[in-house]
Structure 1
Amino acid sequence: MSTALSRRSFFKHMLAMGAVTFLTSPLQAKVTKLTIKYQEKSTNGKKCKECLHFLAATNECKLVEGKINPEGWCSYYVKAPKKA
C-alpha cells in the first residue's frame, strides 16, 4: 500500500511541476526583425507606436525580439483599437 501512495505522491508532484513550467513559459517565441521585414522608419504611414503589439513602456514588441523604434514598422502591424 505504501508503494501506491508513494507513486501517487510522485505523480502529483510531477503534475504540479509541469503545470508551473507551462504557466511560466512564453507560449510564443519572438521572431527576428529580418523575418518580418522590420524597418526602423515607416514609409507607409503605419507606425509601431500605433500597433496592437507594441509595448510603449519598454519600446518592445510582443512578437519581435529586440528594441523597437516607435516610428518603425513591420509586416505584423495591426492597428490598435481606439481607447474609449
Structure 2
Amino acid sequence: MMRHFQKKFSRRRIMKFIALGTTIPLFNILMNYAHASKASKESMQYRDEPNDKEQCSNCMQFIPGKTPEAQGECKVVEGSINSQGWCVAYTKK
C-alpha cells in the first residue's frame, strides 16, 4: 500500500508540478508586459503622411478604427494612428 502512494507522489513529480506552477504565471506576466509596452511615435519616426505607397492602412501592424474616418491603433506604436500615416515599423500586408 505504501509503495503505490510513493509511486504516485514521488519527489520528482512534486518538483515538476511546483516548477510548472510557478512558470506559467511568470510567462503570462511577461506576455502581458510585452503587449502593453509600445514604442513612442518619435522613436518609430511616425508621421501622418504616407511614404509613397506605404501607409498604415496597408500595414500588418495597423488596427483600423470603428469607422473609416476614425483614427486607428497600431500593434507597435502607442497612441492613435492615422490610416494615411507611416513609420519605420511598416510591414506590407
**Distance in 2 of aligned mates of 1:42 and 1:14:** 49
1:72 offset after TM fit, Å?
A: 0.2
**Distance in 1 of aligned mates of 2:21 and 2:77:** 31
Unaligned runs of 5+ in 2: 1-13, 67-71
Alignment of 1:50-65 (within 5 A): 50-57=58-65, 59-65=72-78
The structure whose Rg is larger is 2
Number of residue-to-residue matches in the alignment: 74
Paired position in structure 1 for 2:27? 22
User: Aligned-residue CA RMSD in angstroms?
Assistant: 2.7
- TM-score, length-scaled by structure 1: 0.66
Deviations 1:20-50 (A, max 9, x none): 3532543252100000110111142211010
Unaligned runs of 5+ in 1: 1-7
- TM-score, length-scaled by structure 2: 0.60
More helix by share: 2
CA change 1:13–1:57 in 2 (3 A) is: farther
Candidates 50, 66, 73, aligned match of 2:86: 73
State the AA in 2 paired with 1:76. Answer: A
